[in-house]
Amino acid sequence: MQYDTYLGVRVSPLTYDDILNQVNEMIATNDQATIFAVNPEKIMTARQDDELRHLLNNATFQIPDGVGVLLASKLYNGRVKERVTGVDLSERLLGLANDKGYRVFFYGAKEAVGQKMQARLQERFPNLTIAGYQNGYDDDPDALVDRINESGADMLFVALGSPKQERWINDYRERLNVSVIQGVGGTFDVLAGEVKRAPKITQKLGIEWLYRLLSDPKRWRRQIALPKFLLTLLFNRKQSK
């Protein structure tokens, strides 16, 4: 598998279509793909946390979720050419499941959010088979693994926030008889309509972060990771020259 590396963390330089095609093949051959989103915040955390870095690098696909990784790729001639966001990729995977009859299981978020999301998805994707749902707050992991396997799910979406979801997926992937496992963070809240996505225009301009910052100023603590990430990259490159 091809990838770029930013401060020790792998990022897949693939488009949505590349990933969907590969995932489709993996379902056909009963292989397993894990998909984790990578952004400056996670890369900066992984710098201090060997275990997290290792488990991010161990995934099949590390998608460039934030504009930060795309910027870094542009600055340093990387192969990442476009963003692949967790929410958009999940929506496309759900579209694929709807068309091909793949079964999907959702794990995470609050019960009410999960119920609302399922109702909305069932309207959007009338042929989608939802094989099961479990909220992310009161679950027994062993019983859950059995439930997921018994449901015959082909795709599993895990929304526990990061790095909880990455750890969970890494711990249980081998016991799960599921072809595609994606860690999706706050995606269920978006699919349920509880959290609004930034307007398309801000996404196009790459200033979704600015919209998020203005609508929730407390986020600056998380967003400071982006300039830190770019500066650290710059510093590291200078040192290695």
Is position 161 an interface residue for ligand UDP (rule: CB under 6 A)? yes
211: which 2 tokens?
């919209």
As a whole number of Å, the CA-based R_g of the chain is 18
Q: Which residue in the set 4, 154, 189, 208 belongs to the binding site for ligand UDP (CB under 6 A)?
A: 189
Is there a contact between 119 and 133 (Cβ–Cβ < 8 Å)? no
Query: Which of these ranges, 10-18, 45-53, 173-181, 185-193, lies near ligand UDP under the rule CB under 6 A?
Result: 185-193
Q: Count interface residues toward ligand UDP (CB under 6 A).
A: 14
Is position 188 an interface residue for ligand UDP (rule: CB under 6 A)? yes
90: which 2 tokens?
């999940």
Q: Among residues 22 and 185, whose Cβ is nearest to ligand UDP?
A: 185
Is position 159 an interface residue for ligand UDP (rule: CB under 6 A)? yes
Q: Which residue in the set 22, 60, 85, 162 belongs to the binding site for ligand UDP (CB under 6 A)?
A: 162
Query: Which of these ranges, 10-18, 96-104, 106-114, 123-131, lies near ligand UDP under the rule CB under 6 A?
Result: 106-114
Q: Among residues 18 and 139, whose Cβ is nearest to ligand UDP?
A: 139
Interface ranges with ligand UDP (CB under 6 A): 108-110, 136-137, 159-162, 164, 185-186, 188-189
